[in-house]
Amino acid sequence: MNIEFKKGLYQYCGKLLEDKIQQLQQAANNAQGSANSETKSTAGDKHDTARAMAHLEVEKIAKQLIEAEKLKQVFLQMSTQSAHEKVGLGTLVKANNMFYYLGLSLGKIEFEDKIIFAISLASPLAQAMKECQQNDSFNFNGKTFDIQMVL
């Protein structure tokens, strides 16, 4: 793996993030439309319940959208211009033959036939490996991880 792989991974994660934001915006628009249409229905308990449920859905999606926008701000702070010596924001780490991309909590992704776990820098695993270097070891949940690569 090299810096070009990491740049491609960064761009791929950016696309995943943009797709997620667009899906949430569409879901928010649909939920808001549903909530608005409920207000035009006939009155009654069933109507009030449906309207309340629609508004709860709008609020839930709005919270998810806010979190996705925060994630986008973290993404914009990540650098792909150089390799990292220590584990930190934007670092691609190979530990115990598993790949971790630190900064974005996108979960398990597949990129160029590799399985990579994109995790938040605030996650417990990322905190356990933070500031480590290649050939360092760290413990997490009673298991020792050996860092084979930091990029």
Q: What are phi and psi of 42, to 5 degrees?
A: -70, 155
Is residue 44's pLDDT more than 60?
A: no
Check residue 93 and give its pLDDT: 96
Check residue 31 and give its pLDDT: 80
Is residue 66's pLDDT more than 60?
A: yes
Output the average pLDDT for the chain: 89
Domain locations along the chain: 3-77, 92-150
Q: Indicate the pTM of the whole model.
A: 0.82
Check residue 43 and give its pLDDT: 53
